[in-house]
Structure 1
Amino acid sequence: MNDSSISSLLGAAAARTVPVVRTVREERLGDPTPCSGYDVRGLLEHLFDVMVNFEGLARKEPSAFEKEPERLKGDPEWRDRFAGQADRLVAAWAEPGAEEGTTGAMDQPARLVGTIMLLDLTVHGWDLARASGQRFTPDPAGVEVLSGVIDRLAPFARDAGLFGEPKPAAADASRFEVLLAATGRDPGWQPAG
């Protein structure tokens, strides 16, 4: 596996997002996030559901995204379950053939599908960090890859209601801040209060 494989990129993104998830306090689960329409609990549930489905997509299995997933509800060990699912996701994308051919209901190239998972893991990691008052530094290699595909992904994601309208990025914005703005996020978002 080389440094540009989807598995390597997902592993680096998970190494930044999982520690954020592990330190989310229970009392913050109802707090708003920069991801419109999600509180912290809802975003954790969504990201867990996405990881489960994209693990299957790596194996060319059909996806079954849930409208209102409750994969972590009522589980006192939800942080460990989240971390374990991230490990299974990375392992699935490391399997031979995961990046080859097409996968998913839209019959897209497998590497592009893996890149969409990279986008979710990276951007939602930032969302969760911001919402829970933590710092987040994305993997530079992941940001590089995502910056190269965001213009291709953003129009489809906006049409599907997954991204908001792009926000303006400051003239001195980092590549990651430009990426966040392209997804409809305010790179300067802070929790109220």
Structure 2
Amino acid sequence: METSASLLRVLDQLAHLLDDAADTSPTATTPCTEYDFQTLRGHVVGWLTAFTDGYAADDHTCSDPAAVTVEGSGADQVRRNAARLTELLPAALANPLKIGDAGMPGDMAASMILWEYQVHGWDLAQAAGLPWSPDEDGLEASLAFAPNMLTPDFQGEGKSFGPAVAVPADAPAMDRLAGLSGRKV
């Protein structure tokens, strides 16, 4: 249940970040080199909706994230999804979550979502020049989880995640997670 609590805290922070970043240029560059600010915000809101819909669906299948249009800053959509997840997660973690043709255990998916939103929150905060500081317990959990997902199939030049960036072992947890996820800190 700790992953769920950390995820809900990160989503609360993300909603506040999106409110505070409402005046950020849509074309501002982000450390996530595939996306500018507007595109990354759409990715984050779309996938959060898809994941939430998947946890709610009888067949546990995520909806289409591309079908989601960001409303305003996207903050209210994040809040609505977080409210739904508050109700869904305790029971949903026992079920698989189907993402496209693939599926994974619900608790593993929650760990993946936590990691993704910690890192993409950091990406958005960097582009907006705003602070981002998820809780240490959640960051440490993601530092333990992420290496299992960052296989050579997904991390490297031209892949979903750039090559890991060396970060000192005593750096803050968020910096280590960003570096592990291929972000230059």
Structure 1 length-normalised TM: 0.81
> AA paired with 2:150?
A
Contact kept? 2:22, 2:73, Cα under 8 Å: no
CA–CA distance in structure 2, aligned partners of residues 90 and 63 of structure 1: 17
**Equivalent in 40, 48, 53 of residue 50 of structure 2:** 53
Relative contact order higher in (CA < 8 Å, ≥ 6 apart): 1
- The answer to whether the aligner puts 1:127 opposite 2:126 as a matched pair is no
**Equivalent in 113, 116, 131 of residue 117 of structure 1:** 113
**Equivalent in 73, 76, 81 of residue 80 of structure 1:** 76
CA–CA distance in structure 2, aligned partners of residues 27 and 103 of structure 1: 33
Partner of 1:183: 181
- The answer to whether the aligner puts 1:146 opposite 2:147 as a matched pair is no
Instruction: Indicate how the Cα distance of structure 1 residues 52 and 38 shifts in structure 2: closer, same or farther if over 3 A, else same.
Output: same
Which consecutive unaligned segments of at least 5 residues does structure 2 have? Answer: none
Aligned to 2:150, what secondary structure does the other structure show? Answer: helix
Deviations 1:117-154 (A, max 9, x none): 11121111111111101011111121121111111011
CA–CA distance in structure 2, aligned partners of residues 55 and 106 of structure 1: 16
CA–CA distance in structure 2, aligned partners of residues 19 and 36 of structure 1: 23
**Matched positions, count:** 179
CA–CA distance in structure 1, aligned partners of residues 118 and 8 of structure 2: 11
CA–CA distance in structure 2, aligned partners of residues 151 and 10 of structure 1: 18
Instruction: Indicate how the Cα distance of structure 1 residues 126 and 62 shifts in structure 2: closer, same or farther if over 3 A, else same.
Output: same
Deviations 1:14-46 (A, max 9, x none): 122211111113342220111111111111100
Instruction: Indicate how the Cα distance of structure 1 residues 24 and 136 shifts in structure 2: closer, same or farther if over 3 A, else same.
Output: same
Partner of 2:104: 108
> AA paired with 1:71?
T
Contact kept? 1:57, 1:63, Cα under 8 Å: yes
Q: Structure 1 residue 173: deviation in Å?
A: 1.6
CA–CA distance in structure 2, aligned partners of residues 148 and 34 of structure 1: 22
Partner of 2:34: 37
Aligned to 1:11, what secondary structure does the other structure show? Answer: helix
Contact kept? 1:58, 1:114, Cα under 8 Å: no
Contact kept? 2:44, 2:120, Cα under 8 Å: yes
Contact kept? 1:147, 1:179, Cα under 8 Å: yes
CA–CA distance in structure 1, aligned partners of residues 124 and 67 of structure 2: 17
Identity %: 21
CA–CA distance in structure 2, aligned partners of residues 140 and 23 of structure 1: 22
Deviations 1:99-134 (A, max 9, x none): 114222423221111111111211111111111010
